[in-house]
C-alpha cells in the first residue's frame, strides 16, 4: 500500500505535504515524491524516505498552494527514482499519485504503445496517467470526464489524486478499493489516504466511497460517481486527535503502542460489559444474533497477526461457545471453492479493514449466503462496510508496522464474543461466564504490571540480540502466541524465527536445537503446564537456551530455564493477552539493539492492499 496526501487552498502546500507524508510513511517507504502546482508543475521525487525527499527539494522552488504527495510501497517496478510518484503523462498534461493496483495495466500499456505513447517508468500508475491524457486529447473533453472515462476502463483498485495542467487550481480525486479521505477546511481541502495528515487542520472529513470522483477547488467540492450522478457529500466529524498520532516521549510508535495496551484493551471492552460484570453486550452483532446463535460452524479468515488472533479465537469459541471453528489464511481461502452455506458464520479479522486478501475472502463468502461478521479497528474501512455485522476493536490508530495493540484488542473482542455466544447458546455456566468476564476486566492492570518489567526484558534482549535463529513454543491457547512472538521477532529484527506447538518439536524442529538456539517457551500455569515442563527439559537436554514466560512465583521452570519472564497469574482463557506482551517487548528491544528501523521494517507496509 502507499500513502497519498494532497492540498488545495491558500496556504503553502509544501509543508503540509511533507508533514502528511511523514505521517503516512507507515504505509510505504520505498520512495517519496511531491508535485507542486504553481503556474507550471514542479515534481520532486526520489528513492528512499520522506527525509530524502526533503533533502532533494531543499533548494528548489517549493511555492504553490496546490499540490500532491506520495510515499510508495512498490508493486509494479523496483523502488527507484523513475518509479516514484507523482507520475506525469507523456505530454505533460496530467500528474497522478496512486495507491492501489491497476490489474489490466499491461493490456492498457500495449494499447497506448500502439497509439504512440512511451513510458518512463515500469508502473501501472504511469499507464493510467497516459490513458487519461489520451482520452482528454483525443476526445477533447474536460479533465474530470477524461478521468471518469479512463476509470471505467480500469480493472483493479485505486485511490487517486490527479491534476491537469490546463485546469489549474483544481485536483481530481477518485477511489475504488483504496481509501481516500477529504478534509474540509475554510477555503481549503486536504486529501489523504487516512485522516492522520488532516487532523491538525480540520475535524470535518468526507470518506470517498468506491467509484466516487471528487473535483476539488479551494472553494468548491463537486462529488459524483463514475456515471456522472451527483452525490451529496456526507461530511462527518472525526474523533482523532493529534496525540493519537504522535509518538510522544516514546522512541518508536511500536513501543508507544505496546505501552498503550492496558488502555486499549479497556477501550475494547468499555461499554460492552455490564457494570456488575454479569454479561457481555456487543451492539454490533445484535442484528445477526439469531444467525450467530444457530451457527453450525465458524470460519475465521485473516492474514498475519490477525490470523494469529483468529487462532486464539478458535480455541476460545470452541471451548466456551461449543461451535466448531476453522481458521483460514484469507489468501488461500479466496482461491478455493469453499463449502459454505447459510448456517455458517464467517468472521473476518483485520486491523486495517483494507487487507486485499481478507476483503477478497469476504466477497467470496458473500456469494454463499453465509453470515459475515467483521472484527476491525478502522472505522469506515472497506471491511466494516462489506460485512453483515461487526465489532470495532477501538484500539486507536496503530502506526507501527508490527501490530501489537490491534492483536490484543482483537483477542479481547473474540473473548467477549465466545462468552456471549456461550451464554446465549446456554453451553456456558453462569459461574464460568461471570468468572471469565471478571478475569478479562483484570487484564489491563496485569498488563501494566508486565510493562513495569520492561527493563529486565531488555536485559534478556541484550543477551540474544546476536541470534540468527529463534524458536517459540507454546501449547493450547499459547501456541498462537508462540506464532505471534516469532512473527514479531522476524519482521522487525530480521532474525529467522518460527513458532511451534511445543509437542511438535520432537517431530522435526528439535533437530535445530544446539547451544546457539534460543527457544522462547510459553509456560504459564495452565492445564498444559506439566507438559511444557517436559518440553523445556527436552530443549535443555540438547543444550538449547530457554527463555521461559511463566506465571508469577513459578519454581520448577525457573530451575531449568536460562531466563524467565514472569506474568501475573490468570485464568488460561486470558493468558494470550498477557503472554504476548513480553514477547512484543523482547522483539522490540532486540530490533533496536540490532539497529533496525522498528517502525518501518524493510520490505513491509502496514496494510497489504494488493495481492
Ligand atoms: O490490517 P490487517 O490486520 O488485515 O493486516 C494483516 C497483516 O498484514 C498484519 O497483521 C501483518 O502481519 C503485521 N505486519 C504483523 O505485525
Report residue 543: phi and psi, to 5°. 70, 15
Centroid of chain to Cα 558 = 37
Q: Which atom of ligand 1 is nearest to the CA of 303?
A: 6
Q: Which of the listed residues 73, 303, 353, 374 should we mutate to test ligand 1's pocket, taking the one with most ligand atoms within 8 A of CB?
A: 303
What's the confidence (pLDDT) of residue 232? 95
Report the separation in Å between the CA atom of 30 and the middle of ligand 1, taken as the mean of its atom positions. 19
Cα–Cα distance between 325 and 432 in angstroms, integer?
21
Cell triple for 148: 471518469
Q: Is 241 exposed, middle or buried (0-12, 13-18, 19+ CB in 10 A)?
A: exposed
Paired strand residues for 273:
280
Contact 216, 182 (CB under 8 A): yes
Centroid of chain to Cα 359 = 13
User: How does pLDDT run across 453-466, given as a tens digit for each residue?
Assistant: 999 999 999 999 99
Q: Which atom of ligand 1 is nearest to the CA of 404?
A: 16
Task: Please name which of 440, 420, 430 lies closest in space to residue 288, comparing C-alpha atoms.
Answer: 420
User: How does pLDDT run across 495-522, given as a tens digit for each residue?
Assistant: 999 999 998 888 988 899 999 999 999 9
Cα–Cα distance between 180 and 207 in angstroms, integer?
6
Was domain 247-450 assigned CATH 3.30.930.10? no
| Dihedral angle over CA of 91, 92, 93, 98, nearest 10 | 120
Cα–Cα distance between 231 and 221 in angstroms, integer?
11
Task: Please name which of 574, 582, 259 lies closest in space to residue 414, comparing C-alpha atoms.
Answer: 574
Q: Which of the listed residues 1, 258, 300, 304 should we mutate to test ligand 1's pocket, taking the one with most ligand atoms within 8 A of CB?
A: 304
Contact 152, 158 (CB under 8 A): no
Task: Please name which of 438, 391, 442 lies closest in space to residue 577, comparing C-alpha atoms.
Answer: 442
Report the separation in Å between the CA atom of 402 and the middle of ligand 1, taken as the mean of its atom positions. 8
Cα–Cα distance between 484 and 490 in angstroms, integer?
10
Peptide bond into 86 cis (omega under 30): yes
Cα–Cα distance between 88 and 82 in angstroms, integer?
11
Report the separation in Å between the CA atom of 93 and the middle of ligand 1, taken as the mean of its atom positions. 38
Report the separation in Å between the CA atom of 73 and the middle of ligand 1, taken as the mean of its atom positions. 15
Domain 3-240 belongs to what topology? 3.60.20
Query: Reduced to 3 DSSP states, what percent helix, strand and coil does the chain have, rounded to the nearest 5?
Result: 40, 25, 35
CATH superfamily label, 453-600: Glucose-6-phosphate isomerase like protein; domain 1 (3.40.50.10490)
Contact 302, 350 (CB under 8 A): yes
Every domain of the chain with CATH number 3.60.20.10 lies at 3-240
Report the separation in Å between the CA atom of 605 and the middle of ligand 1, taken as the mean of its atom positions. 9
pLDDT along the chain (611 residues), means of 10: 94 97 88 94 95 94 96 82 95 96 94 96 95 98 98 94 97 93 97 93 94 97 96 90 85 97 97 92 95 96 98 98 97 91 95 92 92 93 91 94 97 98 97 97 98 98 97 96 98 97 89 93 88 94 95 94 97 97 98 95 81 71
31: left (phi > 0), else alpha (psi -120 to 50), else beta? beta
Residue positions annotated with a catalytic role: 2, 606
Q: Which atom of ligand 1 is nearest to the CA of 606?
A: 14
Contact 347, 375 (CB under 8 A): yes
Q: What's the full length of the chain, in residues?
A: 611
Every domain of the chain with CATH number 3.40.50.10490 lies at 247-450, 453-600
Cα–Cα distance between 511 and 499 in angstroms, integer?
15
Q: Nearest residue CA, atom 4 of ligand 1?
A: 350
Angle at 422 between CA 420 and CA 427, to 5 degrees: 155
Cell triple for 563: 531466563
Look at the block and give the residue holding cell 446456554: 426
Q: Which atom of ligand 1 is nearest to the CA of 304?
A: 12
Task: Please name which of 67, 101, 92, 95 lies closest in space to residue 605, comparing C-alpha atoms.
Answer: 101
Report the separation in Å between the CA atom of 461 and the middle of ligand 1, taken as the mean of its atom positions. 24
Q: Nearest residue CA, atom 7 of ligand 1?
A: 304
Q: Which atom of ligand 1 is nearest to the CA of 352?
A: 1
Residue 15: how many CB atoms within 10 A of its CB?
11
Exposure string (b/e) for 30-53, b if CB count within 10 Å is 16 or more?
bbbbbbbbbeebbbbbbbbbbeeb
Cell triple for 304: 498475519
Percent of the chain topping pLDDT 90: 85
Look at the block and give the residue holding cell 504505509: 27
Cα–Cα distance between 415 and 440 in angstroms, integer?
8
Cα–Cα distance between 511 and 508 in angstroms, integer?
6
The ligand 1 site (C-beta within 6 Å) comprises: 303-306, 350-352, 355, 358, 401-403, 487, 491, 604, 607-608
Cell triple for 596: 533496525
Amino acid at each position: 500500500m502507499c500513502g497519498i496526501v494532497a492540498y488545495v487552498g491558500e496556504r503553502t502546500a509544501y509543508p503540509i505535504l511533507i508533514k502528511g507524508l511523514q505521517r503516512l510513511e507507515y504505509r510505504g517507504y520505498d520512495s517519496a515524491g511531491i508535485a507542486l502546482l504553481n503556474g507550471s508543475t514542479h515534481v520532486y521525487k526520489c528513492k528512499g524516505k520522506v527525509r530524502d525527499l526533503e533533502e532533494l527539494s531543499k533548494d528548489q522552488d517549493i511555492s504553490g498552494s496546490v499540490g500532491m504527495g506520495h510515499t510508495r510501497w512498490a508493486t509494479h517496478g523496483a523502488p527507484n527514482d523513475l518509479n516514484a510518484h507523482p507520475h506525469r503523462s507523456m505530454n505533460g498534461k496530467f500528474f497522478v499519485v496512486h495507491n492501489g493496483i491497476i490489474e489490466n495495466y499491461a493490456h492498457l500499456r500495449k494499447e497506448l504503445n500502439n497509439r504512440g505513447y512511451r513510458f518512463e517508468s515500469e508502473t501501472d500508475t504511469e499507464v493510467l496517467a497516459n490513458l487519461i491524457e489520451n482520452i482528454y486529447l483525443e476526445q477533447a473533453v474536460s479533465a474530470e470526464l477524461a478521468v471518469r472515462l479512463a476509470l471505467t476502463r480500469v480493472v483493479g483498485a485505486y485511490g487517486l489524486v490527479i491534476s491537469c495542467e490546463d485546469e489549474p487550481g483544481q485536483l481530481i480525486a477518485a477511489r475504488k478499493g483504496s481509501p481516500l479521505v477529504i478534509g474540509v477546511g475554510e477555503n481549503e481541502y486536504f486529501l489523504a489516504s487516512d485522516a492522520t495528515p488532516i487532523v491538525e487542520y480540520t475535524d470535518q472529513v468526507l470518506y470517498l466511497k468506491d467509484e466516487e470522483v471528487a473535483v476539488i477547488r479551494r472553494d468548491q467540492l463537486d462529488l459524483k460517481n463514475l456515471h456522472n450522478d451527483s452525490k451529496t457529500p456526507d461530511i462527518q466529524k472525526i474523533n482523532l486527535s493529534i496525540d493519537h498520532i504522535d509518538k510522544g516521549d516514546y522512541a518508536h510508535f511500536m513501543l508507544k503502542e505496546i505501552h498503550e495496551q492496558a488502555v486499549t484493551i479497556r477501550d475494547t471492552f468499555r461499554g460492552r460489559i455490564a457494570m456488575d460484570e454479569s454479561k457481555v453486550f456487543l451492539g454490533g452483532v445484535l442484528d445477526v444474533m439469531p444467525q450467530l446463535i444457530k451457527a453450525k460452524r465458524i470460519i475465521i479468515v485473516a492474514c498475519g497477526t490477525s490470523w494469529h488472533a483468529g487462532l486464539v479465537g478458535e480455541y476460545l469459541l470452541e471451548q466456551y461457545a461449543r461451535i466448531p471453528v476453522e481458521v483460514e489464511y484469507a489468501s488461500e481461502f479466496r482461491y478455493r471453492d469453499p463449502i459454505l452455506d447459510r448456517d455458517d458464520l464467517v468472521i473476518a479479522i483485520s486491523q486495517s479493514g483494507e487487507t486485499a486478501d481478507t476483503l477478497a475472502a469476504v466477497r467470496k463468502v458473500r456469494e454463499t449466503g453465509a453470515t459475515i461478521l467483521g472484527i476491525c479497528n478502522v472505522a469506515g474501512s472497506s471491511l466494516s462496510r462489506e460485512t453483515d455485522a461487526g465489532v470495532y476493536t477501538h484500539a486507536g490508530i496503530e502506526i507501527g508496522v508490527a501490530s501489537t495493540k490491534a492483536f490484543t484488542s482483537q483477542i479481547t473482542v473474540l473473548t467477549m464474543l465466545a462468552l456471549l455466544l456461550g451464554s446465549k447458546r446456554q453451553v456456558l455456566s453462569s459461574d464460568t461466564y461471570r468468572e471469565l468476564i471478571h478475569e478479562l476486566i483484570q487484564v489491563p492492570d496485569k498488563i501494566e504490571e508486565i510493562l513495569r518489567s520492561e527493563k529486565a526484558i531488555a536485559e534478556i534482549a541484550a543477551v540474544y540480540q546476536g541470534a540468527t535463529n529463534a524458536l517459540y513454543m507454546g501449547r493450547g491457547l499459547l501456541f498462537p502466541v508462540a506464532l505471534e512472538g516469532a512473527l514479531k521477532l522476524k519482521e522487525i529484527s530480521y532474525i529467522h524465527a518460527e513458532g511451534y506447538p511445543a509437542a511438535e518439536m520432537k517431530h522435526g524442529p528439535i533437530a535445530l536445537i544446539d547451544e546457539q538456539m534460543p527457544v522462547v517457551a510459553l509456560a504459564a500455569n495452565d492445564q498444559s503446564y506439566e507438559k511444557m515442563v517436559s518440553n523445556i527439559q527436552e530443549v535443555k537436554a540438547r543444550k538449547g537456551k530457554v527463555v521461559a514466560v511463566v506465571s508469577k512465583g513459578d519454581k520448577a521452570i525457573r530451575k531449568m530455564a536460562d531466563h524467565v519472564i514472569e506474568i501475573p497469574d490468570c485464568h488460561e482463557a486470558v493468558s494470550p493477552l498477557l503472554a504476548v506482551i513480553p514477547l512484543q517487548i523482547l522483539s522490540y528491544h532486540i530490533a533496536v539493539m540490532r539497529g533496525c528501523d522498528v517502525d518501518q521494517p524493510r520490505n513491509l507496509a502496514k496494510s497489504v492492499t494488493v495481492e
